[in-house]
Structure 1
Amino acid sequence: MTSSTVNISATRRPKGRVLMTARWVVGHRDGRHCLLQNGEIVFEDGMVIFVGHGFDGEVAERHDQGSAIVAPGFVDLDALADLDTTILALDNHPGVDKGRVWPRSYMEAGPFEMYDAEELAFQKRHAFATLIRNGITTALPVASLFYRAWGETAEEFSDAARAAAELGLRVYLGPAFRTGNLVVEEDGSITTHYDEARGLAELDRAIDFCHRYEGAAGGLIRTMFAPDRIETSAAALLRRTADAARALDVPTRLHCCQSKMEYDLVLARHGMSPPEWLQHLNFLGEKTLLPHGVFVSGSRHIARPGHDLEIIHDAGAVIVHCPLVFGRMSGAIDSFSRYRELGIRIGMGTDTSPPDMIANMQIGLILNRVLEARPDACRSEDFFDAATIGGADALGRPDLGRLQPGAAADMIVIDLGLPHHGQVIDPIQTLLVAGHGRDVRSVIIDGRFVMRDRVIPGIDEAADNARAQRQFDKLKSLYPKRTRGHPPVEKIFSSSYPIVA
């Protein structure tokens, strides 16, 4: 694809070579990560030029990070660019009665935008800063369409591109689109409402967005296609999306195999499982990203026999594993180690806020071992690989997810040896025992320091948090309009204990 036709610039990189030292540097040699004790890393003009010990060249800056880990930044293939409404579902079920599926009355009244353009722009900038604070250096944003009139717009993603460039976050952007939406009828049954022409028109606008923004901000801004979910997409939409993605050589992300309801709807409508239908449509490929890949044939979730995992494997598609958000809802892939043994490509996503990739690795490891009932089912480095190399390779980016000469200078500094870490063992194992996203001290993306000592230039964290809370409270107050029976807010969302005014 040709480079971007829009003029967006990122901030300047430091001039000259920058050398960093740390107690541990996660380098990359012979196709895998390695741990360099008291290691050094040197970068210049956005690229890593040295990883090792005893660099003898001239440098413009030196930074000793002390008792810390310098590691490749995390690649988040399902990164929340939203104010997280999934947290409202923590103790409030079922979703059809809690505003997670549009009621027929709301559909007939005409869905409306519950955020204005300024609020949409703010939430993306706020989310991007939160991703940086948690060590995410490459992000593929995702947001809920439950409170949207239909899909996302190119205009809001123009704002998102500018915010990413200003903050220095590496992103893959593309407005989400869909053919239709799930609808809950008065009797509680689930149907769909489709508008194929509207979905195809949104796809056309997404294609135009890719042409205009691919490679913007010196390559920080890349593009992707984001059909929302498999059960809200018609065959024509998915076929045209796949054709466009192959022609433009950009990734496509489609939420798939993420619920029993979805699996049953696709099976009833097409006589095929979700992966079978995608194979039939020639949709799958090496840059097809599938969050969440949990409900597949032959798993503990789906008793139906079939070859869903074999289809995904043979196509070279990528499962995007988001263990934290799914664990909250009692789900998990069955299992991470089994998928790896089958040769299925796996990357990681956070899909919730806070977007703590370290917590996701911890929970993923625990869930995997519980499901397999053995402590040797997986190791810490298996998840660290998925959060770095796995995500980079899913995007076809051998320059990301690893620190070696010729790679992009995308790295994070993680404090090590803090009181809550207890006794440090192996640095990666210590992260998987006691680390969290707040341990990320500094972030470098494309050779730019986008966060130093937890400070992101131009961001007032306290003010933004307060604004986000006000915006979230406003959205929550609108839930009765799109909840079956239109109960008051306090009936939709329960309190843990009685509230005393």
Structure 2
Amino acid sequence: MRTLLSADWVVGFDGRDHCLIPGGEVVFSGPVIEFVGRGFPGPVDRRIDFGRAMIGPGFIDLDALGDLDTEVLCFDNGPGRKLGRIWTEEALQRGPQDAYTPEEELFKYRYAFTQLIRNGITTALPITSMLYRAWAESYDEMAGVAAIAEEIGIRAYLGPCYMSGLTYQRSDGSLAQHWDEARGLAGLADAARFIADFDGRAGGRIRAFLAPDRIETQLPSVLARTVSLQRETDVPMRLHCCQSVYEFETVLAMRGHSPLGWLESLGLLTERAILPHGIYISGHPQVSRGGDDDMQRLVASGVTVAHCPVVFARDGEALDSFSSYLAQGVRFGMGTDTHPADMVENIRLGRILSALMDGEAKATAADFYRAATLGGADALGRPNLGRLAAGARADITVFDLTGFHLGQVLDPIKAMTLAGTGRDFRASFIDGREVMADFTVAGSNVATLTAAADAQILKARAIHADRAPDRPQVQEIFRPSFRVLD
């Protein structure tokens, strides 16, 4: 069936960059876009005029939360170490435990995928917290996630997260690494099996990627085999890197390299690598190694930095700076990383923080919009995503511009960035399938999802108290904003 969508604004693609088309049209048949412009001359089976709205490409979230909102447990409650956010030595000796049942683990993804689509995200590379698990993700779990993604209709890059160690807190408060190479290699074997079985499922909407956990929890043997598997399969690889001073100094002490230097020595810095978050690199004033070696590595290798400004800004951290990295040639994509899955908020805050770090506004809303669309597509090696153009996949979003809060709409991208939210997305199509209409994700029951998530998060809260230093009562570490009256 051929469908024609029209609106006051369309974000088209001229072969090099996005362009704005007032009174534009987008026509697609099945999963592929046929036409973007005005005055489509052919017959159509269905017409939808969205009026005061912006039709654009779906966002590509390179670090999408596939989890419940565990940030709500820690927000304004003090340092994570005191909250059981990190395993204590005593808890590790008792043995790490899963907070959730296998069914509850899968529910997290159903809840999260619904949130992502609701916020205009059509392609997601999910991430979940390893803090609530006995170890990492498994093949069986990710097979279940693939089934949920196929049912809901989101375009997803999936793969079980694997790690060969974890960070724990000694009794004196210092941090150390606990290693288990066998588990790391078993996780990598699960990843290889998942690639073989699931890459290309659901008409290509389900793709595989390699998802080793953060760099300080990896052994050289596991990462060396990751390099071999990535070269063999040519799937993308995402590895959280340069996201804390602790990580930088720990890797430097253990491996004799900065995190990026170590990845380079292993052969992991390639155009197929996606690195959230790229903040703490050599030359950063808070790390012990100066110089611009790491910046040169980012540029020369062609890796993509997945920029997630909101989650870091909550703790007073920011990339220094987006415009500086961009000017030197670093490739950027965007991620949300936390709840809410609001890419619009990340674009807005990223633009604000970049200006703040620079002392002036150098990066533009357009720069961040490109990163959230074209940059993500480039990172995945997918020139048919992140744009509205003939031959591209029909991953299309409709951003509603009727809201009084948006003010005057002289430029839809600027209006969205200044005053919009992810909740302003009205409709979404993925591979031509209408997965959201009238602000509602197809097949979802928000009340049911919310009630189940509210009940499940209490299990995560309980495990914090069980592994926090001295094992305090839940009420001691999760304080309300104000006194709660009886």
**2-structure distance, mates of 1:284, 1:492:** 40
Q: Counterpart of 1:286?
A: 271
1:310 aligns with 2:296: yes
Q: Counterpart of 1:340?
A: 326
Match for residue 456 of structure 1 among 437, 441, 444:
441
**2-structure distance, mates of 1:267, 1:90:** 30
Q: How does 1:81-92 map to 2 (within 5 A)?
A: 81-92=66-77
Q: Answer with 422-431 or 302-311: which moved more.
A: 302-311
Which residue identity lines up with residue 156 of structure 1 in the other structure?
A: E
Match for residue 387 of structure 2 among 394, 402, 406:
402
Contact 1:76–1:139 (8 Å) recurs in 2: yes
Match for residue 445 of structure 1 among 430, 433, 439:
430
Which residue identity lines up with residue 98 of structure 1 in the other structure?
A: L
Instruction: Return the offset for 1:425.
Output: 2.2
Runs of 5+ in structure 1 lacking a partner? 1-15
**2-structure distance, mates of 1:410, 1:420:** 27
Q: How does 1:292-441 map to 2 (within 5 A)?
A: 292-302=277-287, 304-306=289-291, 307-375=293-361, 377-441=362-426
Instruction: Return the offset for 1:304.
Output: 2.2
Which residue identity lines up with residue 51 of structure 1 in the other structure?
A: V
Which residue identity lines up with residue 242 of structure 2 in the other structure?
A: C
Match for residue 35 of structure 1 among 1, 9, 20:
20
Contact 2:249–2:288 (8 Å) recurs in 1: no
SS of 1:166's equivalent?
helix
Instruction: Return the offset for 1:93.
Output: 2.6
SS of 1:222's equivalent?
strand
Instruction: Return the offset for 1:299.
Output: 2.1
1:69 aligns with 2:45: no
**2-structure distance, mates of 1:223, 1:364:** 28
Which residue identity lines up with residue 342 of structure 2 in the other structure?
A: D
Q: Answer with 416-425 or 357-366: which moved more.
A: 416-425
Contact 1:20–1:41 (8 Å) recurs in 2: yes
Which residue identity lines up with residue 212 of structure 2 in the other structure?
A: P
1:96 aligns with 2:67: no
1:188 aligns with 2:170: no
Count of residue correspondences: 485
Contact 1:288–1:318 (8 Å) recurs in 2: yes
Q: Counterpart of 2:213?
A: 228
1:495 aligns with 2:480: yes
Instruction: Return the offset for 1:87.
Output: 3.3
**2-structure distance, mates of 1:196, 1:94:** 30
- Kindly provide the CA deviation profile for residues 373-400 of structure 1, in whole angstroms up to 9, marking residues without a partner as x: 112x111100100000000100000000
Q: Answer with 77-86 or 357-366: which moved more.
A: 77-86
- Using structure 2 for the length normalisation, give the TM-score: 0.98
- Kindly provide the CA deviation profile for residues 314-336 of structure 1, in whole angstroms up to 9, marking residues without a partner as x: 11111100001111011111100
SS of 1:388's equivalent?
helix
1:51 aligns with 2:43: no
Instruction: Return the offset for 1:303.
Output: 5.1
Contact 1:90–1:329 (8 Å) recurs in 2: no
Indicate the RMSD between aligned Cα atoms, in angstroms: 1.0
Instruction: Return the offset for 1:421.
Output: 0.5
Detail structure 1 runs of 4+ shifted over 3 Å in the superposition.
Answer: none
Which residue identity lines up with residue 248 of structure 1 in the other structure?
A: T
**2-structure distance, mates of 1:427, 1:87:** 32
**2-structure distance, mates of 1:83, 1:77:** 18
Instruction: Return the offset for 1:478.
Output: 2.1
**2-structure distance, mates of 1:98, 1:265:** 22
Contact 1:417–1:424 (8 Å) recurs in 2: no
Q: How does 1:116-131 map to 2 (within 5 A)?
A: 116-131=101-116
1:132 aligns with 2:117: yes
SS of 1:51's equivalent?
strand
Q: Answer with 129-138 or 422-431: which moved more.
A: 422-431
